[in-house]
Each structure stands twice: as C-alpha cells, then as structure tokens.
Amino acid sequence: MIRRSKGGLSTKIHALVDALGNPLRFLLTPGQAHDLIGADALLPQMAAEVLIGDTAYDADEGVLKPLASAGKSTVIPPRQNRTTPCQFDQALYQTRHQIENFFLTQTNRGIATRYDKTARNFLAALHLAAATICRN
C-alpha cells in the first residue's frame, strides 16, 4: 500500500541496477521508511563487486561491514555528521546517475511522478518499464 507521509501519499523505490543502468531487482517501501530497509532486503542478493550508493547507505553495521566481509567494496560519500569521514572515489560516484536515468526517462514519466494509487499497480508499472528497458 502506498503510505501517507508529511508530503502526502508516497512510496520509495529501492533498486539494484547493473553498470549499464539495466534494472536487476526492486523493492517498494512506504515513503517514510529509511533507505536501510531496502538495503537489508537487496544487498544480500547483490552479485556485483562494487556498490555505488548515496549517503543514506553510509552505515557501518547495516551496509559497510557486511559488504566488506563479503569481499565487496563501496563507493558511498560519508554523512556530514560522521566523526571519521571515509574516502570515496568521486569519479566512480558520478556513475550513480545511471539509476536516476532509469526512473527519469520520458517513457517512465508515470514512475517518476508516481501516477498509480496502489502499490500493486505501481510495482506492476515498474516491472513493465524494466522489461521495456531490458528488451532494448
């Protein structure tokens, strides 16, 4: 179900994409849920050697340590309140736009603006858009 947050009805899409921006896995959560909920569900299934994520994934126990113990590296900018900021490859971080490009293409405007009112229909539209991208 699409949940009500401060800004109204919303939902978050958590997605894994490959280096070319092709979608691999999806998860929907309520808009007020933290991004680490998506990380808990998607990252154990990640086959890639490197995770490129935003600052919400800068969590030692939830993301960084489990991936390091699995032999995977991360490119995540540190949060502003981190006492010991970690270094990250800024040039490689620039490729993170691939995931944003998936959601913001003209053909996926309904996904970017969340036209669907139910989570079931929204997830179906998301899978349809992913199938269209993978087909090309």
What pLDDT digit, counting tens, does each position of 54-95 carry? 888 888 888 888 899 999 999 988 888 888 878 888 888 888
Residue 132 in any domain: the answer is: no
pLDDT at 103: 65
Q: How far apart are CA 1 and CA 78, in angstroms?
A: 32
**Under 8 Å between Cβ of 48 and 68:** no
Residue-number span of the structural domain to which 95 is assigned:
3-126
Percent of the chain's residues with pLDDT above 70: 81
Buried b (16+ CB within 10 A) or exposed e, 92-101: eeeebeebee
pTM for the model: 0.74
Residue 117 in any domain: the answer is: yes
What is the largest distance, in Å, between two alpha-carbon atoms of the chain? 45
Q: How far apart are CA 91 and CA 30, in angstroms?
A: 32
Indicate the length of the chain as a whole number.
136
**Under 8 Å between Cβ of 4 and 12:** no
Domain count for the chain: 1
Residue 106 in any domain: the answer is: yes
Give every CB contact of residue 122 below 8 A, 6+ residues apart in sequence.
2, 11, 28, 111, 114, 116
Which residue carries 């600052």 as its tokens?
55
Residue 131 in any domain: the answer is: no
Residue 136 in any domain: the answer is: no
pLDDT at 4: 56
